[in-house]
Amino acid sequence: MAKLKDPVQLAVIGAAHGTRGELRVKTFTGDPLALGDYGMLFDETGRRFEVLDIRPAKTVVVVRFRGVNDRNMAEALNGTTLFIDRSQLPQDLDDDEYYHSDLIGLEAIDAEGNKHGKVSAMFDFGGGDLIELTMRGKRPMLIPFTQAAVPHVDVKAGHIVIDPVAAGLIPDANEDEERRRQLGGGSGGKSPS
């Protein structure tokens, strides 16, 4: 079993699916069905996983791996993370495409150069990619990884540029006024009885 030099997580194995060893797998690939196109997958210990069959199933894919032939074997793999070596990834990305692992550790700054923390993780809970920013002495915060919230990414320079208002870090003037109005502290409005 070989350890990977530069591992990149592609998926995490979930619950068993049926009785023949199939597994529900959450992928972190652009096309979930492409998981099998990357070749041999590995877990943290270097154990190998070969995809024999893959099909879509709502928010995950159902995968049959070589050597996993029954439900008991499949259940034992629940929670296993799957990796490939970075050298197996395509290196010819478009200008607006990034590997999540390349974003981890980048400094988050706004257009004026103010620091808003560092990218500590990337998440997708089903509503699109989110960036977790951490700053010493403050709680981590999540911002959307959208063009409006993160208009510029410069991996080589080691930073992302964020728009604090679009990212939800600073409320805009309309939101402040609406919040005051809803709380009954608006401008001359009558509070409900």
> DSSP readout, 82-117?
EEEEGGGS-----TT---HHHHTTPEEE-TT--EEE
CA–CA separation, 17 vs 63, rounded Å?
9
As a whole number of angstroms, the distance between CA 53 and CA 41 comes to 14
pLDDT at residue 185, rounded to an integer: 57
Cβ contact 38:90 at 8 Å = no
Long-range contacts formed by 46-50: CB under 8 A, 24+ apart: 46/1, 46/2, 46/3, 46/4, 47/1, 48/1, 49/82
The whole-number pLDDT of residue 191 equals 46
Closest CA to 2 of 53, 45, 38, 63: 45
Residue 180 neighbours by CB distance under 10 Å:
13
pLDDT profile of the chain (193 residues), mean per 10: 76 93 90 90 93 92 95 95 86 76 91 93 82 91 93 92 89 65 59 46
pLDDT at 127: 78
Task: For residue 101, give the amino acid letter.
Answer: S
Phi, psi of 94 (to 5 degrees): -70, 165
Q: Any idea of the CA torsion for 156, 157, 163, 168, to the nearest 10 degrees?
A: 70
Predicted TM-score of the model (pTM): 0.64
| pLDDT confidence of residue 129 | 87
Tokens of 93: 């990305």
Place of tokens 């970075």: 86
pLDDT of residue 173: 64
Nearest-5° angle of CA 98, CA 43, CA 122? Answer: 30
